[in-house]
Amino acid sequence: MNGYIQVYTGNGKGKTTAALGLSIRAAGAGLKVFIAQFIKMGEYSEINALKRFADLITIEQYGLGRFIKGKPSSEDIQAAGKGLERIENIIALGEYHVVILEEANVAVTCGLFSVEDLLKIIDMKPDDLEIVITGRNAMPEIIERADLVTEMKEIKHYYQKGVKARVGIEK
């Protein structure tokens, strides 16, 4: 199977949901999936659900679970760096068919790591590996290198009416 680079970006809802849906589809076909979550930390509903696929889907968090405004802390940068190192090792081992870098675009925008760091991951990709990168504000260099780019566009969102993130729907 040929693998490609997919990017899900934009201000609309659904980037992580699309990537997780792809992970379940891949697992259903017997493919092994590795998901690295940047920014997030904690028990999100998707983690609870994916535990049921533990033999095929591995999910690890490399965020400290806080909204990064301004310059990230050294702890935030260190956590993201561990995630990048882990992904490099995962790619080198060749045991997974799909690697998802959730919120990696946001990690670049926030300064957790550089666009060059993310391009290095792309450069490591063997022909048979699918890499999915999610998060708003994908850099032009990432979009250029991707084989598929989907932009989620917000047209209307109930957050604007004060609806908070709901367990099982948004978190």
Q: What angle do CA 87, 92, 96 make, to 5 degrees?
A: 70
The third-level CATH classification (topology) of the domain covering 5-161 is Rossmann fold (3.40.50)
C-alpha–C-alpha distance, residues 130 and 132, integer Å:
7
Q: Give domain limits for the chain.
A: 5-161
Question: Using one digit for the tens of pLDDT, what is the confidence trace for 122-152?
Answer: 999 999 999 999 999 999 999 999 999 999 9
Instruction: Determine the pLDDT at residue 151.
Output: 97
With beta carbons less than 8 A apart as the criterion, state whether 61 and 37 touch. Answer: yes
Lowest mean pLDDT among 18-27, 41-50, 135-144, 147-156: 41-50
- pTM score: 0.92
Q: How confident is the model at residue 34 (pLDDT cuts 50, 70, 90)?
A: very high
With beta carbons less than 8 A apart as the criterion, state whether 4 and 69 touch. Answer: no
Instruction: Determine the pLDDT at residue 68.
Output: 62
**pLDDT above 90: residue 154:** no
C-alpha–C-alpha distance, residues 106 and 38, integer Å:
8
Question: Using one digit for the tens of pLDDT, what is the confidence trace for 64-107?
Answer: 876 666 788 889 899 999 999 999 999 999 999 999 999 999 99
Q: Mapped to the 3 state alphabet, what secondary structure does the chain carry? A: CCCCEEEEECCCCCHHHHHHHHHHHHHHCCCCEEEEECCCCCCCHHHHHHHHHCCCEEEEECCCCCCCCCCCCHHHHHHHHHHHHHHHHHHHHCCCCEEEEECHHHHHHHCCCCHHHHHHHHHHCCCCCEEEEECCCCCHHHHHHCCEEEECCCCCCHHHHCCCCCCCCCC
